[in-house]
Amino acid sequence: MLYALICTDKPHSLQLRLDTRPEHVAFLNSLGDRLKAAGPFLDDAGTMTGSLVVIEASNRDEALAVSQEDPYARAGLFESVEIRPWTWAIKNPEAK
């Protein structure tokens, strides 16, 4: 099953995001095929304000564990993390 991790940064935390970004990207890459998509949310000025990460996990608890291992989460960047089951219905490259 796929899960969307919808992460919102704490206000005024851009420097923490930038400082932690290399470890965050390495973590995402370490997920291998379990990672389906990822990228930052932006405000109107183009400043990163959060993250969308779509992962494959057996259940919500596994998705939660992955979200808690993210270096951004460990650094205290996120104000909130919403975990929602998600179906990739359109333009899924793995669909048959």
What whole-number distance in Å separates Cα of residue 33 and Cα of residue 18?
A: 25
Pair of tokens at residue 57: 């996990």
- CA separation for the pair 63, 60 (Å, rounded): 5
What are the residue boundaries of the structural domains of the chain, listed by start?
2-86
The CATH H-level superfamily of 2-86 is Dimeric alpha+beta barrel (3.30.70.1060)
Question: Measured between alpha carbons, how far is residue 21 from residues 27, 59, 75 in Å?
Answer: 10, 27, 11
Average pLDDT over residues 68-88: 97
Q: What integer pLDDT is reported at residue 19 of this predicted model?
A: 98
Residues 22-74 pLDDT 10s: 999 999 999 999 999 999 999 999 999 999 999 999 999 999 999 999 999 99
Q: How far is it, in rounded angstroms, from Cα 6 to Cα 70?
A: 13
The neighbour count for residue 62, using CB atoms within 10 Å, is 15
